[in-house]
Chains A and B, each alone.
Chain A
């Protein structure tokens, strides 16, 4: 059968199945289990209404349980067992082993670096672009261009930037933009940018900043537009210059939005994997937690330590996630 046809069939079965489930389960509830007639009609209606929300939530709860809750619990269990002892319970041995590995601490250190630099720079550039493009005619074109990297997958972006950082032997023509510029201006030898310790971390971060700036720009641009115009005019009359207006009137008014953007990007950063995997695979001191986990789980096949590092990431993400969701809810109110 043609794959497109198969796809359509899948959609039809999926959507039809959902509709059928909701329709028939509701019908059974109202007509078979608790019919709204006979001597118990009132009681039956109340009972049906008590059950109905659970009936409708059931599929979502199953899906969440199967694909979210179960993996978390299973990962926790695996992190406490050992591969070499046939899955025997070993307590915190895997964690101890992980904490003893320099590669893990390298990943922790790099993750912290990412955590500070990427959200800060993305938010700052996003805010800058949002402000600068606010009132100009071609602002929307500029914003579209800056937003575009959002549509590129992390791996795709990594490939693009790998080309930018590309190095050819000295004397040959450089196809990497960075080396081309570097060689042309400094006259020195081309650099293997991704192998320069510490600096290569920042070269990797640039990729994520490039992608996330579009996101923060869109959100912050909307927030800036939401600032009452009259407060800005009042500030002008009060004698504030454009820079004072920006920092003393505009930024404080969108502070909570800035924090939501910041934490949302922080969450992306904590999970960063694709960029590092595709560009250096953690070599030259660029390891990050997610890639460390991947290496342990699928390259070394050590599910114990791999799961332990997964739990570590979850532990770091959770408080920020909770804070972020709370703040976003507050925004909506």
Chain B
């Protein structure tokens, strides 16, 4: 049982600059947790605190039921893969991978076995005697992962491991990491990224960090379908969810909203009678919009179109200082610029937020 438990964990630099506060997380053995968040939200700091590279200034970190706040990194049963791979440049691949075991005083035979097994797993067998500088980016990345595997840690920590790879390699390595996780179902992995696709595809649960704290924790689809705030709603999904101001005009199992822009929306979010007249933001993801002839939710003049082949993005004209609304329509739509388009969305795809918070999580 290797559960990881964070209780009211906080980080302050120099007694004044607070970067994280009151982080509470319960990570079960075998989970693949992804930390996402805007840059500077402290996701890497949190990972480094779990690793033991940053001091935890407040709160408690437990691994396997043991308080490890002051336990040195090597004794926490963790291994870390760094963004820049952090391979020792003067050591061969084999030496890089066996360094930790050597320090731990393992027998040479045991070390060789572990290294060879990891090398086979990562298809590095032919490169064992090369120096890191003679390897490609993807190979270096695999050595970095191999260095973690040989130690057979209880918890793997990944700090944006794919951000230095080119797009094609990133996809391939992402799949490799997913396969690696499948081969080690009882090992916990914590993965930091700013790439949504990585988060959505790899995670068993995503932790969205914002404003020094946890914004929402949940499975990828939970975050996509039931975001608890405007922040999470706009952070997950690309392009970001449209937010349109309006006022509740009918409550009940479903809610009807009159939009400031003129249209009307029906949402599957339930409301009470007391919510009548409530100022809300109606959230619709660009991909949930459909064109319609009448009873539209939104109507606007197309300003820019981006044809991506499988879909076309429509950017609508917006008032100065306001985010333009975006619709993602399947297929190719040419010559829509300057046209007025009417859009609607099915009730179960329409989200409602009041004061930044989802009406589902009140």
Contacts and interface: CB of A to CB of B under 8 A. Distances in A.
A237 B90 contact: no
B87 A237 contact: no
Contacts of B147: 234, 238
A235 B99 contact: yes
Given A228-B84, A238-B74, A253-B90, A233 B103 contact: no
Contact of A230 (B73, B86, B100): B86
29 contacts: A230-B82, A230-B84, A230-B86, A231-B87, A233-B53, A234-B80, A234-B86, A234-B147, A235-B88, A236-B72, A236-B73, A236-B74, A237-B51, A237-B53, A237-B74, A237-B78, A237-B79, A237-B80, A238-B74, A238-B99, A238-B103, A238-B147, A239-B73, A239-B100, A239-B103, A239-B104, A244-B103, A252-B88, A253-B88
Given A236-B73, A238-B74, A239-B103, A231 B53 contact: no
A333 to B, nearest CB: 13
Given A237-B79, A238-B103, A231 B88 contact: yes
Contacts of B85: 230
A240 B147 CA distance: 14
A233 B90 contact: no
A255 interface: yes
Given A252-B90, A255-B90, A238 B100 contact: yes
B78 to A, nearest CB: 7
B53 A236 contact: yes
Contacts of A234: 80, 82, 86-88, 147
Contacts of B87: 231, 234
A160 to B, nearest CB: 40
A249 B104 CA distance: 16
Contacts, number: 62
A240 B73 CA distance: 10
Interface residues of A, number: 17
Interface of A: 228, 230-231, 233-240, 244, 248-249, 252-253, 255
Interface in B51-99: 51-53, 72-75, 78-80, 82-91, 99
B359 to A, nearest CB: 44
A253 B86 CA distance: 13
A293 B103 CA distance: 53
Interface in B21-64: 51-53
A253 B31 CA distance: 37
Across chains A and B, which 9 residue pairs bring their CB atoms closest together, nearest first? A239-B74, A230-B86, A238-B100, A252-B90, A234-B86, A230-B82, A239-B103, A237-B73, A237-B80
Contacts of A253: 88-90
A211 to B, nearest CB: 31
A252 to B, nearest CB: 4
B88 A249 contact: yes
Category for how many chain B residues contact A: 20 to 34
Interface in B126-177: 147, 151
A228 B90 CA distance: 13
A244 B89 CA distance: 16
Contacts of A233: 53, 80, 82, 86
Contacts of B51: 237
A229 to B, nearest CB: 9
A296 to B, nearest CB: 47
A213 to B, nearest CB: 25
Nearest to B103: A239
Nearest to B89: A253
B96 to A, nearest CB: 9
A230 B83 CA distance: 9
Given A230-B84, A234-B86, A239-B100, 5 more contacts: A228-B84, A236-B72, A237-B52, A244-B103, A248-B99
Nearest to A254: B90
A311 B192 CA distance: 64
A244 B82 CA distance: 20
Interface string B95-125: 0000110011000000000000000000000
A161 to B, nearest CB: 39
B53 A240 contact: no
A120 B183 CA distance: 52
B272 to A, nearest CB: 52
Nearest to A240: B103
Contacts of A255: 90
B200 to A, nearest CB: 27
A16 B362 CA distance: 82
A240 B91 CA distance: 15
Contacts of B86: 228, 230-231, 233-234
A231 B79 CA distance: 13
B140 to A, nearest CB: 12
A233 B54 CA distance: 10
A244 B99 CA distance: 11
A134 B83 CA distance: 24
Most buried by A among B51, B52, B73: B73
Contacts of A231: 86-89
A233 B72 CA distance: 12
A235 B72 CA distance: 12
Contacts of A249: 88
A253 B74 CA distance: 22
